[in-house]
Structure 1
Amino acid sequence: MNKDLYDAGLAVRRQVLGDAHVDASLAAATDFTRDIQEYVTQYCWGDLWNRPGLSRQERSLINLAMITALNRSHEFKAHVRGALNNGVSREKIKEVLMQSAFYCGGPAALEAFRLAAEVFEAMDAER
């Protein structure tokens, strides 16, 4: 493992997803799943998210569209929170989901809207 890249990734992962989410993911790691947690932290968060070509807001919006297409509800909710943490407006999230309705299909977009509303409600309650 490249410790510098892992540490950089852990910092970005915490900034985007929040300490509670990251701490829960790492605490839940087992001998079987620990390697994938390290891999994601090092290469996705440490390398990919630190590339200069896109802003964090742009990366968040792209992730929301791709995760909607894949219909991965757990990851989607984490990335809605991450997008908001990155300064993406609810309006922009809505527009990505509207775009997804056409390209990914209605059921995927409807589920994404439902999940995003759950995250908005939870974050509003945290204030």
Structure 2
Amino acid sequence: MTALIFCGATLGSPLSPASTTKKVRKTMNSKNAERGLELRRAMFGKETTDRQVSECGDFLKPMQAIVTEHCFGDGWQNEVIDLKWRSLLTVAMLTAAGRRHEIKIHVRGALSNGASREELQALFLHAHLYCGIPLMVDAMLAAKEVFDEIDGEQNA
């Protein structure tokens, strides 16, 4: 097994001697951590993922461990719902919750998982019926920022 360095700690070992970190997360499950990192890299890019997990610092170490191992190493691994639909559902839930920062992250992930801009647009337009116009507007503006970033990267 390859040792994974996670915010300066080797996965599968204690993340930090700080008692608060131990209460949140004592160890990483190496199998889930490896699967989680692999999926995060596929969805959000290797450079972005590796930067997030290696430069997070002591305060964010437990959060990155939970996101990598639990969210992407376990929850996102269920194959009943494919990654495209899982991404669309995630974006819809984030829209309903008004989580603009996460919407931007997961719009990029949804595109990587095969969702189209048209499908995302339809999702946001439908969301106004159940979430309200302000949440739809905010989500669409967040997605537009991501689309503009991607278009700029492709034109560079």
Correspondence for 1:58? 85
Q: How does 1:30-109 map to 2 (within 5 A)?
A: 30-109=57-136
Correspondence for 2:137? 110
| Cα pair 1:71 1:108 within 8 Å, conserved | yes
Q: For 1:73, give the aligned amino acid.
A: R
Give aligned-pair identity as a percent.
Answer: 39
Q: Which has the larger radius of gyration?
A: 2
Q: For 2:81, give the aligned amino acid.
A: L
Distance 1:63 1:21 in 2: 20
5+ residue gaps, structure 1: none
- Report runs of 4+ in structure 1 exceeding 3 Å deviation: none
What is the count of residue pairs matched by the alignment? 127
Higher relative contact order (CA 8 A, sep 6+): 1
Q: CA deviation at 1:18?
A: 1.5
C-alpha deviations, 1:47-93, integer Å up to 9, x for none? 11111110000011001101111111111101011111111011100
Distance 1:87 1:2 in 2: 29
Distance 1:75 1:20 in 2: 18
TM-score with structure 2 setting the length = 0.78
Q: CA deviation at 1:24?
A: 3.4
Correspondence for 1:119? 146
* The one of 15, 19, 39 aligned to 2:42: 15
5+ residue gaps, structure 2: 1-27
Q: Secondary structure at the match of 1:33?
A: helix
| Cα pair 1:18 1:82 within 8 Å, conserved | no
C-alpha deviations, 1:91-126, integer Å up to 9, x for none? 100111011111111000001111111111110111
Q: Secondary structure at the match of 1:122?
A: helix
Name the structure where helix makes up a greater proportion of residues: 1
| Cα pair 1:101 1:109 within 8 Å, conserved | yes
